[in-house]
Structure 1
């Protein structure tokens, strides 16, 4: 370990892997925010923290069993010349779950606008179960990436821990922001459907470069940020125009 501290290559690997782990954690954070938003307000932050801590435990456990992780990519059966591994099955299952979850949440969000009762809260246990299911998929993807990028287990573990600390700090602000802006929530749900589609494609051996996915997310988020700024300016203009009228009365 002391030798690694003086190795510039190890530090470079740590920096690159930490940055990548944070980027890969974006979809996990979005999913956490959406699931937690259906809980009563006093439980939302707890659900986010529990979900991220479970994700950290899973990733560290997976890193501690690297030989098993490598074995997950080996074919376990062949269907019509199509080799199927446990990783393919997990990616397919996780992708289909995200597609179903994203579609149902979009439907619920649209229905809420026509119901006076507001959103229907889910149970804390149900939310945690959903978070755990997707944590398994996201953790597997994250750890396989870490194993491919770094040679030393200590570097992988450090990168994962740092990325999780960043996500823990960002979880509540991101969740609160998504809850305050319905259009941002709809965009986040569209991201979930996009990530689900990508996971299904990966499970079927159609490799989709992550750069395409994150460019689409970054571009859409940029457009939405401009919309929010324009909306805020229009609101300030209306308030400024109404101020003299109010003062006259």
Structure 2
């Protein structure tokens, strides 16, 4: 019996050690990732600001896209091809086989990114449409233009910009205030005796069709105590 107790104690202690080790590995990994990104920003922010001042698109977009597409300069195409924007094309590298374009230096890939935006009709309209600090509109505009296949590409770039406060590099008006995005709140209703979908729809200024669709209802028949999502 004494052996069993000690054995259980040993197992619990070992489990705690493993969990603590995993925690610190994860923590160190996150700190390392943030440190790499901060170093990347310091290295490329001045050039990004110069490009913003010359071509009039947000420096935050330039850096945000570069960070996203190159993994803060750690991706293979960034390390071997100096390609920081995921641009496809010819390369003569003997170090990796890749369908991505090769550049002599990283700054050349930054310039090529600007050239793509300026030369393709789906992107060049953005220069007349958006200011050089409206990074949200730029991100969604570039996504709509087909820069990336992912539907979440723009939101991922925006998240990077916000996380590292890259918008502070942009040419924002002195009185400009960074907008606070509204938090979406779902509203639910608990069905009471005598309730019908028609009554509930009328109360919340919606339709029976919308309520059925939002709640995946196949029948308008309700159960007392049933929860309905209104918004």
Under TM normalisation by the shorter chain, which class is it? Answer: under 0.3
- Say which structure, 1 or 2, has more relative contact order (CA 8 Å, 6+ apart): 1
Normalising to structure 2: TM-score of the pair? 0.23
Greater share of residues in helix = 1
Greater Rg over alpha carbons, structure: 2
Normalising to structure 1: TM-score of the pair? 0.22
